[in-house]
Chain A
Amino acid sequence: MNLIKKEILTTDLTTWTIGPYHGSLPAPMRLRLSLDGEIITDCDVETGFLHRGLEKACEFQSWRAAVAYADHLDPECAVFGELVLCLAVEQLAEIEVPARAKCIRVILSELSRISSHLSYMVRMARAVGSETIIHYLLRDRERILDLFELLTGARFSINFLRFGGVQADVTDGFIERVLEVCELIRIRMKEYNDLFTFNFGFVKRTSRVAPISKDLVSFCGVTGPNARASGVSFDVRKKFPYSGYDRLDFETPLGQGEGGVLGDVHDRFLIRLREITQSMEILKQLLDVVPSGEYVNRKLAKDSVVPPGEAYSRIESSRGLLGCHVVSDGGPSPSRVQFRSPTLANLLAIPQIVRGIRIEDLPVVLASLDLGIAEADR
């Protein structure tokens, strides 16, 4: 009798292993969940399924080809990986970058930021099961990819940045088309908001879910939009300006806790929306006065070597602080290239924030963190 009772009444924790490929995961990784009913009590994150040995591979390449590798750091927004490596090498070799090249670099970064945030919204929409908006967002991101193709010749891995500038000058009509796309996205923004952002169901799904506290932000080293959603005002573009961001007038939006709790999924989503608007303002400021001049440092000899030493550079990628540490021994190839990816910090935060949420919210929370697993695994 006692035995039967025990068998019926024990409510053990269920273990559920998801991954490496699963619909609720935005990227290949493995989660070991302990479930109490449908409530997650514990979570263990295992990554490394997309490890390509990218940092090591850079050591066997010429300096020039290392940029092509950095380009593959994060396939979704290739320009950030290139930019951070170029900045580090330019700092090390003391290469001057012409103003026009800086401007083109910032245009590319901001376009990448918009396109990355649009794909972020796609992943959020997929997680909450809202089908229609996915197609609208992807359609508009396509316009930005078209711009990349027009300027650089490739849509994703653009490999356009060079030490001391960029590969080529802007083509005719590029600037007009960028403005056109900005205007288009500004019009569409209202549509996205009506259809998605202020949709009752979406707000219900996202508000008060899995907030990241300020303590957790500093504990895990979360940066970028996720940290700003929690009210931590840290933006590399403001704190350590690079490529002429100091001459631009823009504000970094902060989370305001509209969903009920500061730093919840809803805040993290809204901060991306506001950053898209912000990026478009930056683009408009830039495109008003594109400085004339060379697009690449011509004084740089074709086969100049990088002097021995080391340098560290950091930029604000669409996911947060992206850093690059370069060590040179004066040889034809780098002796060490190391990246600091923002996604790794976000991954560290996952076990802390998913405790107590329901498994139906898991895809939403994972999507809301904007995990670029490619740059975390490298």
Chain B
Amino acid sequence: MMNSDNSWIVAWSDSLGFPEAMPQWIYAAAALICTFCFVIVPCGALMSYFERKLAADLQARVGPNRAGPAGILQPIADLLKLLQKESRTEWNWKENIWLSVHTMALYSTLAVLPLGSMAVLVNTEMSVFLPFWAALVLALGTMLLGLGQNSVPGWFGGIRVAAQTLAGSFPALISLLCTGVRSGSFRWSSLAESQGFSPWDWTLLANPFQMIAFSVFVMSGLVLLAIPPLDGGLSMSDIHGGVASHLYGRRLSLFQFGRFYGFFFWSVITVVLFLGAWDLPVSLVNSLKSMGAHQLLALSELLWLLVKTFALMLLIIWIAKVNSRSRVDQITDFVWRVLSPFSLAALVGSSLWAGWRAF
């Protein structure tokens, strides 16, 4: 279901000169494609470069330094290399089907990805929960992809991913509720409005229970989407990357980019829920609005959101590079024994806090 108020469309269509009469779905489709091409893909390339450079700096190495100045073109070189590769195995219909299911489930979340006050396509009371649906379908797709591969690494990788996802979704959902308790609504817009530019207005620092909820949410997201360091299902040392072990060339690049996108959307959601969303200083927003520079406002909101997202992602990558990978039974153990009780405690605590504040 689309957003009921069309303010975002009007703001864009006026300035870009689209005819008013075009049906809404065309705008929505155009918005999705633009988001994918001009936000997600560049972010993926940048992030892979940052990840390599950060890892190199931590490990007393130089990192990419051949393609372009300081190796900045390395992601493009990698992509070209992967596209050239030929598939090792013959055409496998199962693999193709499950890879497309996997990919479609993943990118369906683009519709609910909040990237600024004027770039929220689906803004309902349920929009926060939609990514979970996609994450579960994604896990199902990964599992079936693994089972369809006819290899032991694929089976184990698929089953482990499914086990992790099932475990991780419970604390993720519970800790998500904590933010709703504070903002009073699960609309992206009201979640953003309940926070502010200064870190003291963020949900993270509202009360100690929100801090617990934040750490639980981030960690359970890592479990849910099998992101290092909690990626037992895609472990490199024993099962050669699990599901990815039998993917080659273009399929591998599709799969790897999907993994990046999962990580990215989880970080964006975390930033919107806990780290002050896209909120800029009120005075700046007002002056931009009075000048009528809606696009500039949208762009600066997007940039501010992405800066915070990248910071969060780099922090997680730092932890992943330095620490050792956990075993899958330890991960699920950790989720049920540590994350779940803590998320419940955070929910009770933040509810009591909100009730006390209401009085």
Option from A14, A199, A358 in Cβ contact (under 8 Å) with B324: A199
Q: Are B235 and A129 in contact (CB under 8 A)?
A: yes
**Given A131-B59, A135-B59, A139-B60, A204 and B326 contact (CB-CB distance below 8 Å):** yes
| Min CB–CB distance B154 → chain A (angstroms) | 12
Q: Are A358 and B321 in contact (CB under 8 A)?
A: no
List residues of B whose CB falls within 8 A of some A CB: 55, 58-61, 152, 156, 228-229, 232, 235-240, 321-330
When distances are taken between beta carbons in the complex, the residues of chain A under 8 Å from B322 are 130, 132, 195
Min CB distance B43 to A, Å, is 23
The 8 closest A-B pairs by CB, nearest first: A129-B325, A135-B59, A128-B324, A130-B324, A201-B324, A363-B237, A24-B238, A16-B152
Q: Is the CB of A361 within 8 A of B236?
A: no
Complex Cα–Cα for A130 and B239 (A): 16
Interface string of A110-139 (1 = CB under 8 A from B): 000000000000000111111110111001
Given A132-B58, A139-B60, A360 contacting B321 (CB threshold 8 A): no
- Nearest chain A CB to B93's CB is how many angstroms away? 23
**Which residues of chain B have C-beta atoms less than 8 A from A201's C-beta?**
229, 323-326
What residues of chain B lie closer than 8 Å to A131, measured between beta carbons?
55, 59, 321
- Are A205 and B238 neighbours in the complex by a CB distance under 8 Å? no
Residues of A within 8 A of B239 (CB): 24, 359
Contact A129 B236, CB 8 Å, known A195-B322, A360-B327: yes
Complex interface: chain A residues within 8 A of B325 (CB): 128-130, 201
A202-B322 Cα distance, complex, nearest whole Å:
11
Known: A131-B59, A136-B59, A195-B322. 12 other contacts (CB 8 A): A38-B328, A38-B329, A128-B324, A129-B324, A130-B323, A131-B55, A132-B55, A132-B58, A196-B324, A199-B324, A204-B326, A204-B330
A299 CA / B138 CA spacing, docked (Å): 77
Q: Is A23 an interface residue (CB 8 A)?
A: yes
6 examples of A-B residue contacts, CB within 8 angstroms:
A127-B237, A129-B235, A131-B321, A136-B60, A196-B324, A205-B327
In angstroms, how far is the closest chain A Cβ from the Cβ of B160?
8
Query: With the chains together, A108 CA to B240 CA distance in Å?
Result: 37
Contact: A205 with B326, CB < 8 Å? yes
The one of B156, B229, B324, B326 in contact with A359, judged by C-beta atoms closer than 8 angstroms, is B156
1/0 per residue, CB under 8 A from B, across A32-75: the answer is: 00000010000000000000000000000000000000000000
A131 CA to B229 CA in the complex, in Å? 11
Nearest-Cβ distance from residue B193 to partner chain A, whole angstroms = 39
In the docked arrangement, what's the CA distance between A125 and B326, Å? Answer: 12
**In the assembled complex, which residues on chain B have CB atoms less than 8 Å from the CB atom of A38?**
156, 328-329
**Known pairs A135-B59, A135-B60; A23 contacts B321 (CB<8 A):** no
- Interface pair A132/B59, CB less than 8 Å apart: yes
A362 within 8 A of B: yes
A363 to B327, CA, bound (A): 12
Of residues 196 through 247 on chain A, the ones whose CB sits less than 8 Å from some CB of chain B are 196, 199, 201-202, 204-205
